[in-house]
Amino acid sequence: MSLDSESQSWLAPVSQPAGTLSIAAEPTPILDRNQSAASLIASGAANVSLLDEDPMRWGITDAGRLTLRRSAVFVWVASSEILTMMGLSGTYTGAADYTAVDPAPGVVIPSRGLRLDGPLWSSEGYRPANTSGAATSALHTLGGGSILLDLPWADAWALETTARGVVYDVVHCGRWVGRGRVTDVTRERQGRLSSIITLSLSVQGTL
């Protein structure tokens, strides 16, 4: 697996999959049923990295297959709809570097990356709730922005006709950066090029 695959920018559709996920014998806590392949693998990798000195690296290949690695041998296992969402087949064991056998369904990988205009949401952090120092929950502010994607014509056309109303998790340069619902899609040609189209997704942030 290359660092290039780990630093991909991509979109992953959000749904409510049934099932479980465990990485390196650590069950991934799924507190919110709204999940995507991106949020699942990012939270699972972070969960292991926080508990262990051996960090996890995750990403996606050009073909849309999730990747996960560390320096030590580990097990990657999921069940039910989460297994399908991540493109896995059975239990991955006996290695320190894995690539899912199938593409993660519905992921969008722009051929020339993506540009994100503005944060989809922000957090004001935690505020004191009383004099004892107890804290309130983080205050989140939802925002709106645009995501610009450079795609081959056929991919752009397919996405333009299906993306409205879909909630996507956004991964930019290998980091999960937010979640938003597509409210509108517009497209434009890149000069005289007929092979590549720029799609602009108007996105309303959501948690």
- For residue 3, give every residue at least 6 positions away whose Cβ sits within 8 Å of its Cβ, in sequence order, or none: none
Q: Are residues 89 and 121 in the same domain?
A: no
Indicate whether 104 belongs to any domain. no
What DSSP character marks residue 108? B
How far apart CA 119 and CA 61 sit, in angstroms, is: 25
Q: Which pLDDT does position 1 carry in this prediction?
A: 58
Indicate whether 109 belongs to any domain. no
Q: Are residues 7 and 48 in the same domain?
A: yes
Mean pLDDT rounded to a whole number for the chain: 85
Q: Are residues 87 and 151 in the same domain?
A: no
Parts of the chain with a pLDDT under 50: 123, 126, 135, 137-140
Q: Are residues 35 and 91 in the same domain?
A: yes
Indicate whether 107 belongs to any domain. no
Q: Are residues 7 and 95 in the same domain?
A: yes
Domain containing 192 equals 114-205
- How many domains does the chain divide into? 2
On whether the pTM is more than 0.95, the answer is no
Q: Which pLDDT does position 67 carry in this prediction?
A: 96
Q: Which pLDDT does position 88 carry in this prediction?
A: 96
Q: Are residues 81 and 8 in the same domain?
A: yes
